[in-house]
Structure formats: structure tokens, C-alpha cells
């Protein structure tokens, strides 16, 4: 019967293929090679110990029933793992029997291996032999949900992250793929999930690791003949956060290893959170099978913060640090530092440092001096006057009407829009804007900006008008 082992295994594969998803079949069964069949004992060759352990964890019942169907009630299975520099080198096989009792016994049965006792799993972050519950999650304590300002630019990502943190591995957002340009808060949001999970479920193993760090650990594990330890360690993680996955580009072996770790965690109900500077469809240098897995869950875009969100971020930073910063300074910074959150906070820190070193209070003139050095001016310089003229042209109004005291609704609204854009797009102080538009004070300008913001959020037609005017001003 020895010559029929290939046919027997082929028949087993047909049954298995009909009972599991195609992607699982291709990943975990196509690489298996039948070796021999003797006395109802089928020997199969698998690529690694990790591969063997995964088959035992996920598919043992299916393998047992299938093999018994083909060979009878006395069927036995033998694994051969051919892996250089491993505890089972020299083609030394794992020999396993299918018992007739329950699934728990299947997983806990003894395994006879002609080698020394299996080494303790090494934690690549700390020291050899560290226990699972002692894994340092590598999280920044400041990166909490409370300190993450929500806005239109990040609302989807923020809400999805909250859902994942409340029920890791149990939502449709697995993996949660956060993408956007540098400095927009992807790392903050990803780590917020980890912090929240550890707070509500301390027993869960959470780990944050940058893709470059993962690559370094993988390389060291191969060089030190500890690849199995590396794989086993990452198998333990309940919530794995990989930052900057675009760094895997071109690193084929690292991608292959992460592919298997991803599969194991995903299929065992663990949570994966990934961040990238590009959407999955735009990533270059990554294997298609890995990219397809990045698309399994939710890909959430984080965009540059709008003006209102930038103001909110600065206000929270000021509050958290116990600072006193005038409102016109906050508005000025938010109006001129527009690329990302990191630059926004950096500008505020520079301002604070300047005030501290010179022992002066923070004021508008100081802010303007610092921001002018930090921010490259745009080619098109806007003024309060040019903005007012553009707004009047859009609504078909005479410019003099903005300076009048009339309370007609359309005039008041146009005046408020002109004030709003003057604050957002120019370096002028609130007092200067008020003086040039209707001879109003700075409080009136603040009120106008708030009124415009409120209408943008509640009135679709008004929002469309504001966006059209903004496009004209920036064209």
C-alpha cells in the first residue's frame, strides 16, 4: 500500500478543500508534501514547526476525520519537519496518533521528539524566557483617546479605533488599516487602542512595534537560528500593532514571515492594527497576498486637519500643558501651520520656548515672528481687502455694503464669511480684521467665525458656498 500514499493524500485534500475557505486551503494545505504510507501511518512533510503547530491548533479534527475516512479507524499521522538548524533537523519527525476521545485530548497529548526539551520562547523586546503576561506593550502613555482630537478629517478612523478597542478581534475591522501622510496622528490613534485594551483587559497581551524594528528582530532571529522562537513569540500576541508597514517593501523574507504571523493571529481571533503612509492599493513592493489581507478589514483614511480641528488640537495642548495662550495667537498658528499635527504642536512648543527664554508673555507679535520663520509663505498673498472683494463678487454685492451698518441677513452672512476667511487665510490679527470689515471689534470677528463654523456643519447649501469661495481664494 506504500505506493498509494500520494493518491491517499490527494483524496484527503479533496475532502479538506470542500470544508475550509480557499485561502486557508492554499495557505496551509497546498505546501504539504506526502512522504510515505506504512501500516496505516501517513507521513506528511511540512515547512516548519510553526506550520505543524498551526495545523494542530486549527485543523486537527478535520485531519483526523478525513484520514480515518480514507484509511480506517486505525489511521495515524506522522509529521516530518525539514528545517535546517532546528531542534528537529536531520529529518527527525514528530510522530502523532489520532486518539478516539475529545478535542482537548488532541491538543494536550504528548509529542515524542528525538531532541532536547523545547527552548523557552524568547521575547525579542526584553530578555530570554520572559513570560507572556510580562510582555511590555511598548506604548506611549500620552497617546490616549482622551488626547486625540476628533474632527471631520479623522472621524471614521477614530470611531473605528474606539470600536476595536472595546472589542478587539471581534469586529469587522480586523485588520484596522490606518493610512495618511506623516504627522497626522496614525501612531497616536493606533496606540490609543492598545492603551484602552490594556486598561479594560489587563490579561491581554498587547504589542506595538515599528516595521523597521520587526525587520531587525526577524533578521537577528535568522542569524541566531531562533526563527521558531520569533514566530512563537508573535503568535502569543492578542493585539498586534505594526506601524509603518510600507517599510516592508522589497523585504521578501520579512513579508513571508509576517504573512504567516498575520494568518495565525487573524484566524485565531486576535486583533491586528496596521498603519501606513499610503492606502493598501497604493503600496509598492509588497506581495499581493499580503496586500489582499490588508484589505480584509477596514482601511481608514486620516487627512490633514481642517482649521477647526487645528484650533481644537492647539486648545487641548494648551490646556494639558497648563499654558496661557491668547485666542488670537491660537487662531494665527492654526491659520498658518496647516500640513500636519506634528508641525502644529512643534510651533506651539517653539513659541513656549521663546517666551520662557526671554521671560516674556506669549502675544500675537511673538507668534507672528516665530511662525514666519517656521512656515514657508505661499506664492499667493491674500489680504483682508482681497478676500472681502472675492466674497462680494461671489454674492453679487457692492464692497461698500460690508462696511455699512445694515443688518440684512445676506449682508451679515457675507460679512461673517469675509471675516472667517480673513482669519484663516491671512496673518492679520482679529482686531485688524474687525477694523477693516465693518469697523468691528475682535469679539465680533470671533462670533462671526463661530457662526460660519456652525452653519457649515448644519447647512449643506451654506457649506457648499463656503467651499466654492475657498476654492476661488486658493486658486
Q: Are 196 and 217 in contact (CB under 8 A)?
A: no
Start-end of H helices in 81-210: 103-108, 155-166, 186-200
Chain segment 56-79, per-residue pLDDT in tens: 777 888 888 888 888 888 888 888
- Residue-level pLDDT at 109: 32
Three-state SS at 79: strand
- Residue-level pLDDT at 49: 66
At 87, the pLDDT band (50, 70, 90 cuts) reads very low
Which residue has cell 480514507?
Answer: 70
Which residue has cell 482679529?
Answer: 430
Percent of the chain residues topping a pLDDT of 90: 20
Check whether 112 has a pLDDT greater than 70.
no
At 376, the pLDDT band (50, 70, 90 cuts) reads low
Q: What is the pTM of this model?
A: 0.55
Count how many residues are written for the chain. 475
Check whether 108 has a pLDDT greater than 60.
no
Q: In 3D, which of 198, 239, 231, 189 has the Cα closest to residue 214?
A: 231
Q: In 3D, which of 13, 12, 30, 24 has the Cα closest to residue 75?
A: 12
Check whether 90 has a pLDDT greater than 70.
no
Would strands 41-46 and 33-38 be described as parallel, antiparallel, or unpaired? antiparallel
Beta strands in 107-247 (DSSP E): 176-179, 206-210, 239-243
Check whether 127 has a pLDDT greater than 70.
no
The architecture in CATH of the region 307-374 reads: Orthogonal Bundle (1.10)
Q: Are 139 and 194 in contact (CB under 8 A)?
A: yes
CATH superfamily entry for domain 145-301: P-loop containing nucleotide triphosphate hydrolases (3.40.50.300)
Q: In what order do the strands lie in the sheet with 76-81?
A: 33-38, 41-46, 76-81, 94-97
Q: In Å, what is the CA distance from 390 to each residue of 178, 402, 406, 468?
A: 38, 12, 20, 11
Check whether 3 has a pLDDT greater than 70.
no
Domain ranges of the chain: 2-108, 145-301, 307-374, 384-474
C-alpha cell at 338: 496647516
What is the average pLDDT value for the chain, to the nearest integer? 80
| Arithmetic mean of pLDDT, 389-406 | 87
| Arithmetic mean of pLDDT, 218-240 | 88
The architecture in CATH of the region 2-108 reads: 2-Layer Sandwich (3.30)
Rounded to whole angstroms, how far apart are CA atoms 435 and 459? 28
At 417, the pLDDT band (50, 70, 90 cuts) reads very high
Three-state SS at 221: helix
Rounded to whole angstroms, how far apart are CA atoms 30 and 13? 9
Between 291 and 52, name the one with better pLDDT: 291
- Residue-level pLDDT at 357: 79
Between 137 and 1, name the one with better pLDDT: 137
Check for a shared fold between 145-301 and 384-474: no
Check whether 221 has a pLDDT greater than 50.
yes
Rounded to whole angstroms, how far apart are CA atoms 302 and 177? 11
Chain segment 294-329, per-residue pLDDT in tens: 888 888 889 888 878 888 888 888 887 777 788 878
- Residue-level pLDDT at 161: 93
Between 426 and 419, name the one with better pLDDT: 419
At 165, the pLDDT band (50, 70, 90 cuts) reads very high
C-alpha cell at 85: 538548524
In degrees rounded to 5, what are phi and psi of residue 435?
-65, -35
Q: In 3D, which of 428, 432, 433, 398 has the Cα closest to residue 417?
A: 433
384-474: in CATH 1.10.1750.10: yes
C-alpha cell at 434: 474687525
Amino acid at each position: 500500500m506504500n505506493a498509494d500514499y500520494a493518491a491517499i493524500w490527494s483524496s484527503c485534500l479533496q475532502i479538506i478543500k470542500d470544508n475550509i475557505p480557499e485561502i486557508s486551503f492554499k495557505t496551509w494545505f497546498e505546501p504539504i508534501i506526502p512522504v510515505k504510507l506504512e501500516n496505516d501511518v501517513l507521513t506528511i512533510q511540512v515547512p516548519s514547526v510553526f506550520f505543524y503547530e498551526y495545523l494542530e491548533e486549527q485543523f486537527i479534527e478535520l485531519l483526523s476525520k478525513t484520514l480515518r475516512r480514507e484509511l480506517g479507524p486505525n489511521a495515524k499521522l506522522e509529521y516530518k519537519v525539514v528545517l535546517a538548524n532546528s531542534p528537529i533537523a536531520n529529518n527527525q519527525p514528530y510522530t502523532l496518533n489520532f486518539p478516539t476521545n475529545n478535542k482537548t485530548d488532541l491538543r494536550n497529548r504528548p509529542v515524542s521528539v528525538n531532541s532536547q526539551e523545547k527552548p523557552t520562547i524568547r521575547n525579542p523586546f526584553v530578555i530570554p524566557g520572559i513570560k507572556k503576561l510580562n510582555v511590555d506593550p511598548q506604548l506611549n502613555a500620552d497617546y490616549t483617546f482622551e488626547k486625540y482630537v476628533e474632527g471631520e478629517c479623522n472621524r471614521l478612523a477614530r470611531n473605528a479605533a474606539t470600536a476595536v478597542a472595546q472589542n478587539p478581534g471581534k469586529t469587522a475591522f480586523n485588520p484596522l488599516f490606518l493610512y495618511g501622510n506623516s504627522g497626522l496622528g496614525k501612531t497616536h490613534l493606533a496606540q490609543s487602542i492598545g492603551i484602552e485594551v490594556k486598561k479594560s483587559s489587563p490579561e491581554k497581551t498587547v504589542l506595538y512595534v515599528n516595521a523597521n524594528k520587526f525587520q531587525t528582530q526577524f533578521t537577528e532571529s535568522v542569524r541566531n537560528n531562533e526563527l521558531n522562537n520569533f514566530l512563537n513569540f508573535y503568535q502569543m500576541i492578542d493585539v498586534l500593532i505594526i506601524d509603518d508597514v510600507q517599510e516592508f517593501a522589497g523585504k521578501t523574507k520579512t513579508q513571508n514571515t509576517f504573512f504567516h504571523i498575520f494568518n495565525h493571529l487573524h484566524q485565531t481571533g486576535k486583533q491586528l492594527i496596521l498603519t501606513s503612509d499610503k492606502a493598501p492599493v497604493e503600496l509598492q513592493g509588497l506581495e499581493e497576498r499580503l496586500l489582499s489581507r490588508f484589505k480584509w478589514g477596514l482601511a481608514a483614511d486620516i487627512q490633514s486637519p481642517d482649521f477647526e480641528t487645528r484650533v481644537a488640537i492647539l486648545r487641548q495642548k494648551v490646556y494639558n500643558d497648563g499654558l496661557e495662550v491668547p485666542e488670537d495667537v491660537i487662531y494665527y498658528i492654526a491659520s498658518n501651520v496647516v500640513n500636519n499635527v506634528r508641525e502644529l504642536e512643534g510651533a506651539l512648543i517653539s513659541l513656549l520656548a521663546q517666551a520662557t527664554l526671554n521671560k516674556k508673555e506669549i502675544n500675537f507679535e511673538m507668534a507672528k515672528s516665530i511662525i514666519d520663520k517656521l512656515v514657508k509663505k505661499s506664492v499667493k498673498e491674500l489680504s483682508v481687502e482681497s478676500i472681502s472683494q472675492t466674497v462680494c463678487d461671489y454674492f453679487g454685492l457692492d464692497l461698500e455694503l460690508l462696511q455699512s451698518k445694515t443688518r440684512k441677513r445676506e449682508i451679515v452672512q457675507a460679512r461673517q464669511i469675509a471675516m472667517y476667511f480673513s482669519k484663516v487665510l491671512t496673518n492679520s490679527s482679529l482686531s485688524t480684521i474687525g477694523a477693516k470689515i465693518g469697523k468691528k471689534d475682535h469679539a465680533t470677528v470671533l462670533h462671526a467665525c463661530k457662526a460660519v463654523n456652525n452653519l457649515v456643519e448644519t447647512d449643506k447649501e451654506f457649506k457648499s458656498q463656503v467651499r466654492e469661495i475657498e476654492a476661488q481664494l486658493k486658486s
